[in-house]
């Protein structure tokens, strides 16, 4: 990608468009803007990460890592927040932000998990990609716990298809109303026990579906993927280290190279955007201010269109910090709702169990997805004592060598026993919707700053009674499903994890129909500053039950299409 040297247009550091952040949504904004012919500057606060070359641990065996891949106690003590993320370990730590790097204030416990580099969290995501259905878009206002979404699945369907074809999504055509089909590559296969559990559940319930999860892995690359230089997934599940085959979707392997190919991309790493510049006379945003983290210089870049894709918390912070005479409380914030209605996914509940039999059955490789039971709560009507719903995931696997074995932990008998796979163990977990509430918010500290002089984030986000009620329902329903499926030793586990650790934090700059109660319109434009677009998680009005990133991608491609057309017509 081009270096930091900035071409000058009209004697200024000017571009047609600026994209803030190069992660999942920023990568899509960059690709689409560049392919539509706009000279585009991507400002990325982190370092550059080149596909393949900068994946130093991708092919390392455990014995090639100083602590066999595990974090040390010192790292857990020094970095308590990031080390709580399940994907953070010795082999992936270089893609995560350490706690000490960017302090923030937890008014209520909040685990802020970040990936600051070219590619953002697209390098370290779990790649589960389920479309939203119209139930996710419409039920929140039907049940009166959120404002009306200004769009629904029908508005996004074309854009889902468009991004899915490029990304490569594996899955089945399941024909479910609660989980619309993607454009699918061949699915991963359920193993024998997962299939048995599926048929037991389907026999016992008439409101449940059980499908293999859809994920952004190339099971059979199409020409569109081979042209990107990406190949077939090897089912190794070492993905969080970066994939040298480009077999899972990341900005680094996919969208950013596509943007670069157009000749319209300028990538500027080490560039923290501090605020957006609003021109009172022109009544629009004209550019952004940055700090160069290598030279410590403060610089300004100009553009006609600005896409904010810094991930939910940072996007909120940049807007809150963009104060002007016209917008003293943050850009576009006339209604005072910027930073509010933050919501997230409730991942607290999981169940473990064992299932007897099938000791002659095993499975191939390390499949990068699990079995999914789409939401069955409050779907056609409000039929549960809580609001919203949840998706359920389960996997079945043979216990490994590290299982507890009775008797001597030494000697030939022990060695023989651990050389064989153990009984089948089942893991089931929830992904629950949370209700967007005004009191769950992010704001800027008035006296504490980070090392760049920027106000620290204050996070004030918590669970409520609805989350507890939904969690109870998951435990009851999950346990009942495992029982009908012949499972034993069923154990409930409430992780009590803090909000944020789900890494699906959304809202603060929500979309809506009216500037009175939302910040963005149906095209992701700020109601009051039409050339600024927000298409990352900050734009989400509600959380739905699905993993969100596929929706961010579709929203981004759709918003760029609108923005580029408006720009060409001189309307921006």
Query: What single DSSP character describes residue 503?
Result: S
CB of 187 to ligand SF4, least distance (A): 15
Residues of span 180-219 touching ligand SF4 by CB under 6 A: 217
> CB of 174 within 8 A of CB of 211?
yes
Tokens of 459: 């996070």
Q: Which does 441 bind (CB under 5 to 8 A by kind): ligand FAD, ligand SF4, none?
A: none
Question: Are β-strands 340-343 and 506-508 bridged in parallel, bridged antiparallel, or unpaired?
Answer: antiparallel
Residue indicated by tokens 């499975």: 363
Q: Which does 547 bind (CB under 5 to 8 A by kind): ligand FAD, ligand SF4, none?
A: ligand FAD
CB of 93 to ligand SF4, least distance (A): 17
Question: Are β-strands 371-373 and 349-355 bridged in parallel, bridged antiparallel, or unpaired?
Answer: unpaired
Distance CA 292, CA 46 (A): 10
User: Which phi-psi region, left, alpha or beta, contains residue 415 (left: φ > 0; alpha: ψ -120 to 50)?
Assistant: alpha
Distance CA 216, CA 371 (A): 15
> CB of 354 within 8 A of CB of 390?
no
User: Site mask, ligand SF4, residues 342-371, x = CB under 6 A?
Assistant: --------------------------x---
234 vs 293, which CB is nearer to ligand SF4?
A: 234
CB of 363 to ligand SF4, least distance (A): 14
Q: Which does 243 bind (CB under 5 to 8 A by kind): ligand FAD, ligand SF4, none?
A: ligand SF4
The helix or strand, by DSSP H or E, that contains position 506, with its residue range, turns out to be strand 506-508
Q: Which does 140 bind (CB under 5 to 8 A by kind): ligand SF4, ligand FAD, none?
A: none
Residue nearest to ligand FAD (CB): 23
Residues of span 82-121 touching ligand SF4 by CB under 6 A: none
Query: What single DSSP character describes residue 9?
Result: B
Distance CA 339, CA 317 (A): 8
149 vs 249, which CB is nearer to ligand SF4?
A: 249
104 vs 248, which CB is nearer to ligand SF4?
A: 248
Handedness of CA 332, 159, 40, 443 (dihedral sign): positive
> CB of 500 within 8 A of CB of 462?
no
> CB of 241 within 8 A of CB of 125?
no
Residue in 399, 428, 433, 525 with CA at minimum distance from that of residue 136 = 433
256 vs 520, which CB is nearer to ligand SF4?
A: 256
Distance CA 465, CA 363 (A): 41
Order of strands, sheet of 455-460, starting from the edge strand that comes earlier in the sequence: 105-106, 455-460, 441-449
Q: Which does 276 bind (CB under 5 to 8 A by kind): ligand FAD, ligand SF4, none?
A: none
Distance CA 54, CA 48 (A): 9
CB of 132 to ligand SF4, least distance (A): 24
236 vs 323, which CB is nearer to ligand SF4?
A: 236
Q: Which does 238 bind (CB under 5 to 8 A by kind): ligand FAD, ligand SF4, none?
A: ligand SF4
309 vs 477, which CB is nearer to ligand FAD?
A: 309
CB of 24 to ligand FAD, least distance (A): 4
Asked if 247 touches ligand SF4 (CB under 6 A), the answer is yes
Q: Which does 43 bind (CB under 5 to 8 A by kind): ligand SF4, ligand FAD, none?
A: ligand FAD
Is residue 446 packed enough to be buried (19+ CB in 10 Å), middle (13-18) or exposed (0-12)? exposed
Q: Which does 45 bind (CB under 5 to 8 A by kind): ligand SF4, ligand FAD, none?
A: ligand FAD
Q: Which does 248 bind (CB under 5 to 8 A by kind): ligand FAD, ligand SF4, none?
A: ligand SF4
Residue nearest to ligand SF4 (CB): 243
Number of H helices, E strands in the chain: 11, 21
Residue in 268, 251, 299, 300 with CA at minimum distance from that of residue 1 = 268
Question: 205 to each of 10, 110, 378, how far by Cα in Å?
Answer: 66, 37, 16
CB of 95 to ligand SF4, least distance (A): 13
123 vs 353, which CB is nearer to ligand FAD?
A: 123
Q: Which does 339 bind (CB under 5 to 8 A by kind): ligand SF4, ligand FAD, none?
A: none
Residue in 7, 35, 41 with CA at minimum distance from that of residue 21 = 41
CB of 121 to ligand SF4, least distance (A): 15
* Residues at the site binding ligand FAD, with contacts judged by CB under 6 A: 20-26, 43-46, 85, 87, 113, 115-117, 120-122, 124-128, 271-273, 309-311, 314, 318, 503-504, 536-537, 547-549, 552
Residues of span 215-244 touching ligand SF4 by CB under 6 A: 217, 233-239, 243
CB of 35 to ligand FAD, least distance (A): 18
214 vs 268, which CB is nearer to ligand SF4?
A: 214
114 vs 367, which CB is nearer to ligand SF4?
A: 367
28 vs 386, which CB is nearer to ligand FAD?
A: 28
Distance CA 428, CA 372 (A): 10
Residue in 350, 314, 460 with CA at minimum distance from that of residue 86 = 350
CB of 127 to ligand SF4, least distance (A): 8
Q: Which does 536 bind (CB under 5 to 8 A by kind): ligand SF4, ligand FAD, none?
A: ligand FAD
Within 10 angstroms of residue 53's Cβ, the number of other Cβ atoms is: 10
Residue indicated by tokens 């419409």: 138
Residues binding ligand SF4: what is the number (CB under 6 A)?
Answer: 13
Residue in 394, 395, 396, 398 with CA at minimum distance from that of residue 360 = 398
Among 110, 188, 248, 474, binds ligand SF4 (CB under 6 A): 248
Instruction: Give residues in contact with ligand SF4 (CB under 6 A).
Output: 217, 233-239, 243, 245, 247-248, 368
């Amino acid at each position: 990608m081009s270096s930091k040297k900035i071409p000058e247009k009209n004697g200024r550091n000017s571009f047609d468009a600026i994209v803030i952040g190069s992660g999942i949504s920023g990568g899509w904004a960059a690709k689409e803007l560049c392919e539509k012919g706009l000279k585009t500057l991507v400002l990325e606060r982190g370092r550059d990460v080149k596909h393949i070359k900068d994946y130093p641990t991708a092919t390392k065996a455990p014995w090639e890592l100083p602590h066999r891949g595990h974090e040390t106690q010192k790292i857990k003590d020094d970095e308590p927040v990031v080390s709580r993320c399940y994907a953070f370990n010795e082999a992936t730590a270089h893609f995560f932000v350490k706690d000490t790097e960017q302090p923030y204030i937890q008014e209520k416990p909040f685990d802020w998990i970040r990936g600051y580099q070219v590619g953002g969290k697209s390098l370290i995501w779990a790649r589960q990609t389920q479309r939203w259905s119209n139930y996710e878009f419409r039920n929140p206002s039907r049940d009166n716990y959120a404002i009306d979404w200004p769009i629904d699945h029908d508005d996004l369907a074309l854009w889902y298809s468009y991004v899915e074809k490029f990304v490569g999504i594996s899955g089945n055509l399941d024909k479910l109303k609660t989980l619309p089909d993607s454009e699918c590559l061949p699915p991963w296969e359920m193993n024998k026990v997962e299939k048995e559990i599926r048929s037991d559940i389907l026999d016992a319930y008439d409101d449940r579906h059980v499908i293999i999860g859809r994920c952004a892995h190339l099971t059979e690359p199409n020409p569109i993927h081979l042209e990107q230089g990406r190949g077939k997934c090897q089912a190794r599940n070492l993905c969080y280290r970066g994939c040298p085959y480009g077999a899972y979707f990341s900005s680094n392997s996919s969208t950013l190279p596509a943007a670069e190919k157009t000749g319209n991309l300028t990538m500027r790493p080490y560039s923290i955007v501090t605020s957006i510049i609003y021109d009172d006379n022109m009544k629009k945003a004209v550019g952004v201010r940055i700090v160069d983290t290598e030279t410590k210089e403060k610089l300004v870049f100009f553009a006609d269109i600005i896409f904010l894709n810094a991930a939910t918390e940072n996007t909120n912070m940049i807007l809150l910090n963009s104060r002007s005479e016209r917008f003293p409380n943050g850009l576009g914030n006339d209604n005072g709702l910027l930073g509010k209605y933050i919501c997230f996914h409730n991942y607290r509940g999981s169940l473990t169990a064992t299932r007897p039999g099938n000791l002659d059955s095993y499975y191939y490789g390390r499949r990068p997805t699990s079995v999914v039971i789409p939401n069955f709560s409050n779907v056609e009507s409000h039929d549960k004592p809580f609001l919203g719903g949840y998706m359920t995931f389960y996997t079945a696997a043979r216990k490994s060598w590290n299982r507890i074995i009775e008797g001597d932990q030494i000697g030939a008998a022990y060695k023989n026993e651990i050389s064989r796979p153990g009984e089948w163990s089942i893991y089931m977990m929830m992904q629950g919707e949370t209700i967007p509430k005004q009191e769950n918010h992010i704001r800027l500290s008035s006296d504490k700053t980070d090392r760049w002089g920027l106000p620290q984030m204050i996070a004030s986000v918590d669970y409520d009674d609805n989350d507890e009620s939904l969690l109870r329902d998951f435990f009851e329903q999950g346990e009942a499903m495992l029982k009908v499926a012949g499972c034993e030793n069923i154990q409930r586990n409430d992780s009590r994890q803090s909000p944020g650790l789900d890494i699906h934090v959304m809202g603060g700059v929500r979309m809506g129909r009216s500037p009175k109660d939302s910040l963005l319109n149906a095209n992701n434009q700020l109601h009051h500053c039409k050339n600024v677009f927000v298409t990352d998680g900050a734009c989400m009005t509600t959380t739905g039950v699905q993993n969100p990133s596929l929706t961010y991608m579709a929203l981004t491609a759709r918003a760029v299409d609108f923005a580029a057309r408006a720009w060409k017509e001189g309307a921006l």
